[in-house]
Amino acid sequence: MPWHRTDLPADPPNAPTLTPIAVAGRALVLSSAGGEWFAVEDRCSHAGCAFSEDGAIEGDRLICDCHGSEFDIRTGAVMAPPAVDPIATFAVRVSGGRLEVEL
C-alpha cells in the first residue's frame, strides 16, 4: 500500500484533537494520543456519523457523539456499544517533517 503525504506538520498538538483530512479520495480523521499520530476512517461503523462533525477524543478513546459508541483510536476496536464492528485504521508515519498515511 502506498504512503500519501499530507500538509500536516509532524508535531502533535498538546491536547488530543480530531483533524479531518482527505487522502487519496478517502475521508479520514487524524488524531494524536500520547504523542503519537493515528488515522481512522471518518465514519462510525454504527450509523455512519462523521467523527469530524460528531466525535471527540479522550485519551485513546474515539467517541462518536451521535449514539455514544467508543473505539480504540490505535486499533479501531469497539470499546463501547452500540457499535459492534470496528472502524478502519491506517498507519501514519513522519517523513520530512510532515505526516504520511498508508492507504
Tell me the CATH number at 61. Answer: 2.102.10.10
Does a structural domain hold residue 86? yes
Structural domain of residue 25, as residue ranges?
3-94
* Span 57-101, pLDDT tens digits: 998 899 999 999 999 999 999 999 999 999 999 999 999 888 999
103 assigned to some structural domain: no
**What is the three-class DSSP state of 21?**
strand
Residue closest to 89 by CA, chosen among 59, 64, 57, 62: 62
Are 84 and 78 in contact by the 8 Å Cβ rule? The answer is yes
pLDDT in tens, 22-67: 999 999 999 987 778 999 999 999 999 999 999 999 988 999 999 9
> 73 in a domain, yes or no?
yes
Number of H helices, E strands in the chain: 1, 11
Got the DSSP string for 75-98?
A: T--EEESS--S---EE-EEEETTE
The total number of structural domains that make up the chain: 1
Does residue 24 sit within a domain?
yes
99 lies in a domain? Answer: no
